[in-house]
Amino acid sequence: MKISSAKFVISNTDVTKCPKENLPEYAFIGRSNVGKSSLINMLTGNKSLAKISGRPGKTQLINHFIINDIWYLVDLPGYGYAKVSKNLRQKFQSFIQDYFLKRQQLVCTFVLVDSRHEPQKIDLEFMEFLGENGIPFCIVFTKTDKLRKHILKKNIDTYQKIMLKTWEVMPQYFITSSIDKTGKDQILDFIGNVNENLNLN
């Protein structure tokens, strides 16, 4: 699938104020500073679509972008160690949870994981939350350009071993780099195939 248009639509913290159209949504979420904005900009071919910041926790709203006028890319706040107040973190958790539990248009969630690190408890717990609530998701390993191939393979193998302790199969995953565009075609083709099954293309 090729992206011909990507436009910002709305930001908010209230799931009831999200777009009313019955268009499929693909959410992107991960720990703070995982490279989410860079990945979104890489996928859409728009370097300024999602705001990139060196300060973790920059995204603090549910951000909807309409893609090709037929589906929404949803940029969600990062979870984890953002330098924001405890009250604000709890607010994040509340409206993020509302989005996942109440948003019927959500088709798939892309959970971003930094490929350089060992599996983090907060990521594993978030994926358990998705699984327990029957919310489809894929894993996106980010920043893979910063690793040698054998180290990347070792890290992903470690991730699989830990995931398979609680999951019957390893969820579908993508290897990505916003620097060299690794994984761009694979993720967009995945979304395109899902949309095709929904008779959108």
Q: Model pTM greater than 0.85?
A: yes
pLDDT at 53: 46
Q: Which residue has the higher pLDDT, 121 or 85?
A: 121
Does residue 88 sit in helix, strand or coil?
A: helix
List phi, psi (to 5°) of 11: -125, 140
CB distance 144 to 175 below 8 Å: yes
Residue 77 has pLDDT above 70, yes or no: yes
Query: Among 153, 115, 136, which residue's Cα sits nearest to residue 39?
Result: 115
pLDDT digits (tens, 9 = 90+) for 161-176: 999 999 999 999 999 9
Strands 71-75 and 25-30: what pairing? Answer: parallel
Share of the chain above pLDDT 90, in %: 72
Residue 82 to residues 31, 109, 138, Cα–Cα distance (Å): 8, 21, 23
Q: Which domains does the chain have, with CATH numbers?
A: 6-195 (3.40.50.300)
Q: Which residue has the higher pLDDT, 177 or 81?
A: 177
Report d(CA 165, CA 181) in Å as an integer: 31
pLDDT digits (tens, 9 = 90+) for 116-159: 999 998 899 889 999 999 999 999 999 999 999 999 999 999 99
Mean pLDDT of 15-41: 93
